[in-house]
Amino acid sequence: MFVGAVFFPLLGASIAGLFGRWIGDKAAQAASVICMVLAAICGLTAFWQVAFGHAPQTLEILTFIDVGGFEVSWALRYDTLSAVMVGMVTLISTLIHVYSIGYMSHDPSRPRFFAYLSLFTFMMLMLVTADNLVQLFFGWEGVGLASYLLIGFWYEKESACNAAMKAFIVNRVGDLFFMLGLALTFWTFGSIEFSTIFADVQQHRDATFAGLPAYEVICVLLFLGACGKSAQLGLHTWLPDAMEGPTPVSALIHAATMVTAGVFLVARMSPVFEYAPTALAIVTVVGASTALFAATIGCVQNDIKRVIAYSTCSQLGYMFFALGVGAYQGAIFHLFTHAFFKALLFLGAGSVIHAMSDEQDIRRMGGIWKKIPFTYVVFWIGSLALAGVPFFAGYYSKDFMIEAAFAGHGWTARYAWFCGMAAAFLTAFYSWRLIILTFHGEPRADHHTMAHVHESPWVMLGPLLVLAVGAIGAGAVFAPYFIGHDWQQFWNGAIVNAPHNHIMHDAHEVPSWVPLAPTVVGLSGIALAYIMYMFAPSIPGKLASTFRGIYLFLLNKWYFDELYDAIFVRPARALARVLWQKVDAGVIDGVPNGVASLAVEAAHGAARIQTGRVASYAFTMIAGLVVFVSLLVFGAAR
């Protein structure tokens, strides 16, 4: 069961990828989907047995690395944290696989798509079940590779290739910090096995590196690595461009796999982070800033998938500031609930795009809710959960994180609470702006497109129904276990709060107005969206004209891409051009080619001497003899 949850996706990827040409498209996708269904059954069973049966265990597969005294096992670590992630990843991925049967039905490269999708799932499962940092890094790099393949799946499009390269390169920046953190962890603890690290946390508390507390440096480096995978402020630029891949890919990346890896890493290393207050403060500030920053951009975007993408970036910010204030359980709970409603929103967007003949610009939609009522209803459910409206899934997890920030200590916690509240208002606003512009008002698409608007087939609507159930009920059902008063029994040591951390208790003891505040600001955001886009649709245009500078600033995503282009891309290209033209062509190629040219010229000169005439050779010999005798006589005379 534990092995099957992880390796069934790899089996499906192998069948579809290696034998797809021989067995055919339908058989390849069927094999991939069946393997994912089996993985989901195993994953959900493992979740129940480990989390509710309190039966954590570690299964050693083989020796991964054995060099000198350094030995690393390839093992599957199943504690509650891993079991939660495995159950969530296998379930969400299975639903996305089923949805893809309909969405990709006309694509000529279905076996390759399903192979990549299953490989992506396997790599994420490898990451979350890792028993050591090296194995985790293997899965970490694996999801980076799979995301590159999936984002650039339609490689005929230049924009898809560029987006895939951008995601890969930006993530390599974060991965460099991860590797440095991994190396420093081994230097500090003498091991990269989680069991050894966590058992020796107290023993190495006073360790230093370059005059700095080693724990602080380790945690900052690991967090910077997490910023790349989880698209935090500064390393977030790849995330919206990842929309170039097929919509099921966007759903898998944003809901269950790659972007959640950074949150998982910090939660997994919670025993170390608890003794690194400076690192936690950095996590809090960056996470809170990301939550607010991404929410501001989401308010003006016009691509249906990009709005949801920036929503993901913002929600990840929530998770990180919850981690930063020590509410690791709340962050993982929001990761868990977020998977349902974010997958629902992305797949719902895919259903809209399918209905609108591949149109993604919400300015060319409108007036379609009666034609695709099922998609419209599930989109509402996903948005209600995202906005944290009672009593949908996001209400329980999102509000708890905001309450934890209020209960935290220091200015960083207050800053996180403020950003969380502001982002909650903006999240509700842009969610209903998206609903109104997509489904309501007068149709803005051309007549031909509107004539062909239709509901998606049931192979696509079925997964939406399951996700809608999760978006409604996952919060209420699991809140008592994840963040309730008996959370320690549920997590069973998988997540650690140090003795000095009372955040879980304090979050339940905040003033009575604090739990109500996110709901009030969320409903206010919804009301403002209705006023601006339903009752007075001329207001947005007037505001954009009046505050054109601010509007363009947000529309152009705070000009991060332009800034990075000026600071990194253009200088790198200029340097590459100099190295190519001067060093490569001028020196590396020039020196050998120059020597070769001299040899050729010398050979040509020697060839001209060889005339083949005996008289010429005799004359040359006589002339040489005369020169020789002259030199000899001149020397004797001196």
pLDDT in tens, 491-513: 998 998 877 777 777 777 889 99
Partners of 58 in beta bridges: 77
The answer to whether the CB of 342 falls within 8 A of the CB of 96 is: no
Q: Positive or negative CA dihedral for 355, 357, 358, 360? A: negative
Can you spell out the DSSP letters for 272-333? HHTT-HHHHHHHHHHHHHHHHHHHHHHTT--BHHHHHHHHHHHHHHHHHHHHHTT-HHHHHH
Q: Is 614's pLDDT higher than 80?
A: no
The answer to whether the CB of 540 falls within 8 A of the CB of 532 is: yes
Q: What's the confidence (pLDDT) of residue 542? A: 93
Q: Is 314's pLDDT higher than 90?
A: yes
Q: What's the confidence (pLDDT) of residue 268? A: 96
Mean pLDDT over the full length of the chain? 91
The answer to whether the CB of 527 falls within 8 A of the CB of 350 is: no
The tokens of 62 are what? 């083989």
Tens digit of each residue's pLDDT (9 = 90 or more) over 229-244: 998 999 999 998 888 8
Q: What is each CA distance from 454 to 251, 369, 377, 380, 612, in whole angstroms?
A: 22, 10, 15, 18, 90
Distance of CA 638 to the CA centre of its chain: 89
Q: Is 556's pLDDT higher than 70?
A: yes
pLDDT tier, 604 (very low <50, low <70, confident <90, very high otherwise): confident
Q: What's the confidence (pLDDT) of residue 19? A: 93
409 or 7, higher pLDDT: 7
Q: Is 423's pLDDT higher than 90?
A: yes
Tens digit of each residue's pLDDT (9 = 90 or more) over 34-48: 999 999 999 999 999
Q: What is each CA distance from 419 to 278, 279, 321, in whole angstroms?
A: 20, 19, 10
Residues 523-547: what's their mean pLDDT? Answer: 94
Tens digit of each residue's pLDDT (9 = 90 or more) over 58-90: 998 888 777 777 778 889 999 999 999 999 999
pLDDT tier, 638 (very low <50, low <70, confident <90, very high otherwise): low
pLDDT tier, 612 (very low <50, low <70, confident <90, very high otherwise): confident
Can you spell out the DSSP letters for 545-592? HHTHHHHHHHHTGGGHHHHHIIIIIHHHHHHHHHIIIIIIIIIITHHH
SS3 of residue 635 by DSSP: helix
411 or 452, higher pLDDT: 411
Residues 442-446: what's their mean pLDDT? Answer: 87
Q: What's the confidence (pLDDT) of residue 416? A: 96
Residues 118-137: what's their mean pLDDT? Answer: 95
pTM of the model: 0.90
Residue 244, phi then psi, degrees to nearest 5: -70, -20
Which residue do the tokens 């033209």 mark?
Answer: 581
Q: Is 586's pLDDT higher than 90?
A: no
Q: What's the confidence (pLDDT) of residue 432? A: 96
The answer to whether the CB of 528 falls within 8 A of the CB of 429 is: yes
pLDDT tier, 622 (very low <50, low <70, confident <90, very high otherwise): confident
pLDDT tier, 297 (very low <50, low <70, confident <90, very high otherwise): very high
70-78 and 208-209 as β-strands: parallel, antiparallel, unpaired? unpaired
Q: What's the confidence (pLDDT) of residue 198? A: 93
Tens digit of each residue's pLDDT (9 = 90 or more) over 190-238: 889 999 999 999 999 889 998 899 999 999 999 999 999 998 999 999 9
446-452: long-range contacts, CB 8 A cutoff, minimum separation 24: 449/356, 449/357, 449/359, 449/364, 450/367, 450/368, 452/357
Q: What is each CA distance from 556 to 237, 349, 550, 578, in whole angstroms?
A: 12, 22, 10, 31
Q: Is 157's pLDDT higher than 70?
A: yes
The answer to whether the CB of 123 falls within 8 A of the CB of 90 is: no
Least confident of 30-39, 61-70, 137-146, 467-476: 61-70
Which residue do the tokens 């170039």 mark?
Answer: 244
Q: Is 260's pLDDT higher than 70?
A: yes
